[in-house]
């Protein structure tokens, strides 16, 4: 479950005669259209809020990031990568950006488009249009045609991201079941069957990302949400990246880092299969295979590669974990010639109908308690604070996020 805050910019209602209507099923958002309900997550330079669309009463998660902190921590490229990746993916087990047109207002009398670049996808393939709206824009209408292609416009996906002088915003699905981490923490560890269910859905998500030449790089229980029916959604794509070759950035959670990341050898999709091996171990044992009080101690244990399994683990799952946690990535399961097919054929998955998994036909082992739309009870309680206190950034710094 995810949510968002922000309340700025007054809007005026209505549209004048002669103005074109927004495309069907595309919501025109400005920040004042969203009511902030509660904080449902925090990070180094941002928060995730539960927000509600005042008109449709639909709940969303709003990720709000402080631009000064993003710049100070040198995370500009990661932020851009996250947006780029999320605008490219559509999968039942991956978080989605909200569909929308982004409009904001300087005052009641004049509206301007703060995020002028809108990406569209036609059924025949992707194409892009830069929209510069001049003059008066009404709260729920746009004064000119957005896109015209041979006289017919078919808009299927348009995503809401936004920035002002202080913050970056990403509006996403609200996934009310909470983090997989919370359920693992409360139970201590999962049964073999429970771990098998979550792993099968994660395998499908990773396979899909890799088919798009995207490496996730941040698989861990905290980044796996459960929806109201108990199926997973991967979230937080801040470390994800579209790859053409290897990348060298050291990023991720220490316990989940692959050896090639630690050794700065350049890394690619193989790091996600390593992380899946760590995750399976943690789900079934209740703790990660390599841990220490000091990150450097963790790195030493990862590079040593010594695995000690709890006695209760199934023979086949131990074999699977060993094949994921191979130092030589050329021999790592999932990273060889047949890719994810090699993973799916492993004996631990012998009971899994792989055609049924992405159709969400497997029965989830945990059904989150969700009493109503907008229920935040499956998330930790965070102290609320006034995020508008962040200082505005310079025009030069703001140019970095011109197309966000």
| Residues with catalytic roles | 218
Using alpha carbons only, how large is the chain's radius of gyration in Å?
22
Nearest to 28 by CA among 182, 131, 125: 131
Determine the Cα–Cα distance for residues 316 and 349; give it in Å rounded to an integer: 9
Q: How many residues does the chain have?
A: 404
For residues 359-381, b (16+ Cβ closer than 10 Å) or e, as one string? ebebebeeebebeeebbbebbee
Determine the Cα–Cα distance for residues 126 and 388; give it in Å rounded to an integer: 36
Asked if residue 337 belongs to a known ligand binding site, the reply is no
Determine the Cα–Cα distance for residues 214 and 352; give it in Å rounded to an integer: 25
Determine the Cα–Cα distance for residues 267 and 232; give it in Å rounded to an integer: 26
DSSP conformation class of 254: G
Distances (CA, A) of 215 to 30, 96, 208, 359: 32, 17, 10, 23
Nearest to 176 by CA among 38, 52, 3: 3
Q: What is the DSSP string of 201-212?
A: HHHHHHHHHHHT
Place of tokens 């998660």: 61
Residue numbers belonging to the annotated binding site: 63
- Which residues line the annotated binding site for ATP? 63
């Amino acid at each position: 479950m995810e949510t968002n805050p922000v309340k700025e910019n007054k809007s005026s209602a209505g549209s004048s005669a002669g103005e074109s209507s927004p495309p069907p099923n595309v919501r025109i958002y400005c920040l004042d259209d969203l009511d902030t309900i509660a904080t449902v997550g925090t990070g180094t330079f941002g928060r995730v809020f539960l927000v509600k669309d005042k008109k449709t009463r639909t709940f969303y998660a709003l990720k709000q990031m402080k631009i000064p902190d993003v710049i100070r921590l040198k995370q500009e490229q990661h932020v851009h990568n996250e947006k780029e990746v999320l605008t490219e993916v559509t999968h039942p087990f991956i978080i989605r950006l909200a569909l929308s047109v982004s409009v904001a207002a300087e005052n009641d009398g004049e509206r301007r488009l703060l995020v002028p670049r809108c990406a569209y996808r036609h059924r025949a393939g992707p194409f892009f249009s830069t929209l510069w709206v001049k003059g008066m824009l009404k709260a729920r209408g746009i004064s000119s045609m957005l896109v015209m292609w041979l006289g017919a416009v078919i808009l299927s996906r348009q995503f809401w991201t936004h920035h002002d002088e202080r913050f970056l915003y990403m509006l996403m699905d609200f996934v009310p079941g909470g983090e997989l981490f919370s359920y693992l923490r409360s139970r201590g560890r999962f049964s073999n069957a429970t771990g098998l269910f979550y792993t099968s859905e994660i395998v499908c998500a990773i396979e899909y990302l890799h088919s798009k030449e995207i490496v996730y790089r941040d698989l861990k229980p905290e980044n796996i949400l459960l929806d109201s029916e108990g199926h997973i959604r991967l979230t937080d794509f801040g470390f994800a990246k579209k790859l053409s070759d290897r990348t060298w950035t050291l990023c991720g959670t220490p316990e989940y880092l692959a050896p090639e990341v630690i050794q700065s050898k350049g890394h690619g999709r193989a790091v996600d299969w390593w992380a899946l091996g760590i995750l399976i171990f943690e789900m079934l044992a209740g703790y990660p295979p390599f841990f220490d009080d000091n990150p450097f101690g963790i790195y030493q244990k990862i590079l040593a590669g010594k695995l000690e399994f709890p006695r209760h683990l199934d023979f086949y799952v131990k074999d699977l974990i060993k094949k994921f946690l191979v130092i030589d990535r050329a021999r790592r399961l999932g990273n060889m010639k047949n890719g994810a097919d090699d993973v799916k054929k492993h004996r631990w998955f012998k009971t899994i109908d792989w055609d049924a998994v992405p159709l969400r036909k497997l029965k989830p082992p945990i059904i989150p308690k969700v009493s109503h739309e907008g229920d935040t009870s499956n998330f930790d309680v965070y102290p609320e604070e006034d995020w508008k206190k962040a200082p505005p950034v310079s025009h030069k710094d703001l140019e970095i996020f011109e197309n966000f």
